Structure 1
């Protein structure tokens, strides 16, 4: 009733939550610029009806809208720049709005089609096998992406080698999360993403503590693999959070130091925490961390000093982060 009475008004921002919404006719929301739906019971077809005349829409956010199984973002939304689809139980998402530059997807096993949307520059994917999906699909369907964030709960295979290129990608952030991640994931295989991204400047890898169940590398340096033919001329800043001396992760860190010719800073954080205290006794503390992880972090520091530190040249700053001595006392 509220929408039908005001549909010819000047609504620019609309946030609806925890309700049923079943429009049966086209609504004249011609001035609407931002639409947020949170836990709204609406189907994909009904949402299309709602948006059919929303030509000014610039930001669409859908969260916990579980009745939407198939969704098409139509090409008539010429001004849509930012699309967020978060935990909506989608099966199929087709994006035809041509001018989207930012897209966040937090859902699992969604069949994606970018159609006419070719200007996307900032893309966040949350999916199982997200790394493999990105390598296989994004260079062709999102060729202009500059910042790519991947949340992957499970990687069945290592990052595949590809001949396709992310020709504009400058920032790559990967989160490997979840209880079912592959125990023996080959982190060195991520070099294929570097090879596919000639302009890459910044790389961040976050590995959850559950993902880090591994066999410690304690062996001869000559047994470590090298990929000297792979050079990364623009990579300047790298951070690995949750670093552990699993063999392929040690190989990845050494590869970056040997082959990123413009590298300025390498940060290896041996803890899996997302933030740290400031050191001020009155400030917030670091998040809780189990004793076993604290002990593992100290072992990881020793591994960095043994296998990696000697590869750092004078032009590179190595930040080696361990457990906070104020918050984590063994």
Structure 2
């Protein structure tokens, strides 16, 4: 085996997507898919040709076996993915939303196998996973449990100590936290342990108490983060930091939004892949906008994530439509 380009840690969930519109309690027919912000990013990067290692745990049950097979098919490095016979795999239900609205989602993840992760699951610093070029974290993993929180911070410290790059997407999930104060303090602490931070505009306002993208970026840059990309939905993204001229990178119009879930993860795929390719932050944000725009034109979280040959394809025809890159995933 070889050293991964990227390692991430999180909770992969089985996803049931409603085949008909309406409230979830009225739906009789669902299709099976996959969910999980970190899983979406891992799949997207793998499809672009990067070697991606995934740290996680699944239940030894049919959803867990389904997810593991999917992850193997997507060529993820699963050396640090465990199958737990004691605890179940997380499950997510998603509504079929109309006219590009954010769909209703419901989670069944309390007490899941992934929530049992802890610092004991951390790869050794001199292992292949410990020497990955980039570690990608989100604010979801530390919200799952105390053990997951300790693991996320330990991974960040280890990566920084080894001179590796750390990217961080807040991915705020208020329902997973005991309080808003705990969420803000923990997520900001993890963000400030990263090199690159990718907040959405609404997330950034909540986390920093700054109203505008420049203020949000400045908040993190003053605390040691090297680069910040603030997602602005259909308007694009604001970039600031080392070796980049601060400003807005325009968004990409789409003819029709099918499903907004996963757009922010697609954006992260674009930014991270570009930086690994040696592009500057403005080019990275532009690719992020393009992939995010492509993702919202598909029903599932991963279905719109492109292969390398598809990067040059125009993601949409003229006609701007709202894109929310902060929706649940």
Q: Same fold (TM over 0.5)?
A: no
Greater gyration radius: 1
Higher share of residues assigned helix: 2
Q: Which protein has greater RCO, CA pairs closer than 8 Å, 6+ apart?
A: 2
